[in-house]
Amino acid sequence: MTDRDTNRWRGVTALTFAAGALGVALQEPFALLVGVVGVAFAAYASAGTAPTVDLRVERTVSDPRPDPGDEVTVTVTVTSEGRWLPDLRLVDGVPDALAVVDGSPRLGTALRPGRRAAFSYTVRAQRGRHAFDPLHVVARDFSGASEREVRVEAAEDADPAIVCAPPLTTALDGVPLRRQTIQHTGHVTTDVGGSGLEFHTTREYRPGDSLTRIDWKRRAKTGEFTTIQFREEQAAVVVLLVDTRDEAYVRYDDTSAVEYGVRGAGEVAAALLDEGDSVGLASFGPHWTWVAPGLGRDHRLTLRDTLALDPGFEPTPPDRQFLSALTVRRLRKSLPGDAQVFVFSPVLDDDIADAVRRLEAYGHATTLISPDVVTGSSSGATVARIERAARLRSLRRAGVRTVDWNPDRPLAAALADAERGWRR
């Protein structure tokens, strides 16, 4: 709470002096009489004191759980529970990540005791949990000579947050995974014969082979027992790592690279879960967030909520310090030995390139999906573009699969293009 003199009436006594001077000099009593006006307003200005602000603030939102891009109307009602507030200026604490698209989150009003005033505005919903900041209040007295500035929290039962958690959906028709060895049925095809769907080879029957895999036609024809081998399909363990460091909050088309990363991770997660792969999630940023790989509907919900709402994936840049080495160490400790890693990062600095290279070197097959968010034709942008291309090249040489993703195009198209490159 701050009390201030606005000093707006500072010059008003000068009027009295001017009137007095003129009146005395010209011996004109009426001019002197006019000077009374100056004195009266000076008295008016010094009569008031900064008003006591006793407000009850209630906030309602039209939809507390919108989808991204939906418009949400926020209505703020203030009730004066104390004295008369003749000049009340209110600015609502709109969450940082939400843009006001219609109306104004501000109100100038006057409130008699017990009266209420309301204003509303519309914001466009974005992924994340958005709590409102306190209402910023400036109250002046009648003359406006003194003012009090306070922040008022909305009443506890009337302070909803906007929670926007988009469902995990995907436009991807499968995700190209790297080869690996692990013993779960799934969708990484291997060159190992065994149980599966696709024919691989036949071999001599060995005791213990499943009856369903015996080639009964050949048995009928020749009398030998042979066993059919199918191409073994394995489930992959994939951990999605989203770059959420300050460096990744670079905007492209009004959306940050972190946002593209989170969307990409959501798509990949949905596609992999649909295929029966086990999917984990981690945040490469100052808020360490880790979801161990898993399967199933509950896990899908966990992933969805973590991606949308966890502080590790916040839509606004973090204000904490980030320690790259510590995070890589934590990540190594948490990653299952056979896990593949999908990294989502704009790769605008060497730290992340280093981290990716190390993951690959530690034996985690790593795929980098990099939204290309560098725009503009300034020399800075050109340098950033050249450096980024060099980093991607060097990662490719180190064995990392890279996908250069232009965010204007769907991820599916970028993946398809990249896959063509890997096959060559």
Per CB under 8 A, the segment of 99-107, 177-185, 342-350, 416-424 that binds other proteins is: 99-107
In this chain, which of 4, 5, 7, 37 binds other proteins, going by CB under 8 A? Answer: 37
Considering the complex, state which of residue 137 and residue 353 has its C-beta at the smaller distance from other proteins. Answer: 137
- Read off the DSSP letter of residue 156: G
Angle between helix axes 296-309 and 257-275 (nearest 10 degrees) is: 180
183 binds other proteins (CB under 8 A): no
Of 66-95, which residues contact other proteins (CB under 8 A)? 86-89, 91
Q: How far is the CB of 141 from other proteins (least distance, A)?
A: 9
Q: How far is the CB of 46 from other proteins (least distance, A)?
A: 5
Q: How far is the CB of 259 from other proteins (least distance, A)?
A: 18
> Please, which residues have CB within 8 angstroms of residue 240's CB and are 6 or more apart in sequence?
265, 268, 269, 279, 280, 281, 282, 341, 342, 344
Per CB under 8 A, the segment of 27-35, 192-200, 381-389, 407-415 that binds other proteins is: 27-35
Q: Report the distance separating Cα 110 and Cα 122, nearest Å.
A: 23
Considering the complex, state which of residue 75 and residue 227 has its C-beta at the smaller distance from other proteins. Answer: 75
DSSP 321-383: ---HHHHHHHHHHHS-TT-EEEEE----SHHHHHHHHHHHHTT--EEEEEE----S-SHHHHH
Task: Annotate each residue in 117-156 with x if it binds other proteins (CB under 8 A) or - if it does not, as one string.
Answer: x-x------------------x---xxx------------
- Could you count the other beta carbons within 10 Å of the beta carbon of residue 35? 19
- Could you count the other beta carbons within 10 Å of the beta carbon of residue 349? 19
- Read off the DSSP letter of residue 211: G
| Number of residues counted as binding other proteins (CB under 8 A) | 53
Can you read off the two tokens belonging to residue 109? Answer: 């009003």
Q: How far is the CB of 110 from other proteins (least distance, A)?
A: 4
* Residues within the interface to other proteins (CB under 8 A): 6, 8, 11-12, 15-16, 18-19, 22-24, 26, 28-44, 46-47, 86-89, 91, 99-104, 106-110, 117, 119, 138, 142-144
